[in-house]
Amino acid sequence: MMSIVNSSTTLTSLDEGFRNKIDSLQVCVDLRGGWGEDTVSEFEQLTGELATLRQDVAHYRSIMATAQKDIVTAHCLLEQMQQLSKRLTHMKTNLPVHIPNVNASPPVVPAAVSQPTTKQTNINKQNEQTYTQEKSKVKTGSGKAKQIPIIEYVTIEEFESVPKYIRGRLQYDQVNNTVNAINKTLESKYTLMARPRSKISEVDMRIVTACRRQENQETRDLHFVVDDDIKRWGNMKLDTAGRSLMTVLRTLKRLREVRGPGNLVRFAVIT
């Protein structure tokens, strides 16, 4: 005879099966006028099935308890993933303006795209501006191409490596804004100085002459800027904060000072 425990698929059917067996046994007892050996055997079988049922119920309770713990753990992981997703979304939408990417190449725009969207056009313009400094070249008087060096952006790790007494309350963005200002100054200054005399106005020629006077044997093969250059082309004042920013760049080996004669201070690019 198939076991009730094995044949039942629900607790209701299991209960019904046991009740049917008990009713059948009770009928047998009434008919026989007492308990026979076969009836006792049936009860013993029921007792064994009940013991097995208890074990199964205990096993299922253990599984349910484990499952409940897993559900709690899953909820915790879900909350952590949601928080991480929010952080990543925030980071994606608030990327810093200055992301060091020295060896990157300009993205290639597929030739098949004949009419780019406005968004694509803006992205391409930004990319062109980003790589203008890296690819900027000017012509010297002899006609040879001369590379204008650029200052690499400062990474967060580099910024944090600067001693606190040097950077003070300066912010990371301020340092890279200064890098932008100096790179813009370098490009504007040396592009102007490389232009033919016939294509330079009298005002610009006076500026070129002043820049030439700042050169000496010590600045040979160097590209440098001075206070006036940064004010003129970089739109930056070297006040107390500005001086501190230049000190940070010197500490990070982006610039070095070439002094003299007198109070003249040149900030030369370290290549």
Decide if 178 contacts 230 (C-beta within 8 A). Answer: no
Decide if 137 contacts 148 (C-beta within 8 A). Answer: yes
Boundaries of every domain in the chain:
4-78, 137-269
Mean pLDDT of the region 84-108: 68
Which tokens belong to 63? 């599984």
Check residue 157 and give its pLDDT: 92
Check residue 6 and give its pLDDT: 64
Check residue 208 and give its pLDDT: 92
Cα separation values, 262 from 214, 259, 266, Å: 11, 8, 12
In a 10 Å sphere around its CB, with 0-12 CB exposed, 13-18 middle and 19+ buried, how is residue 17 labelled? middle
CATH level 3 topology of 137-269: Arc Repressor Mutant, subunit A (1.10.10)
- Does the pTM exceed 0.75? no
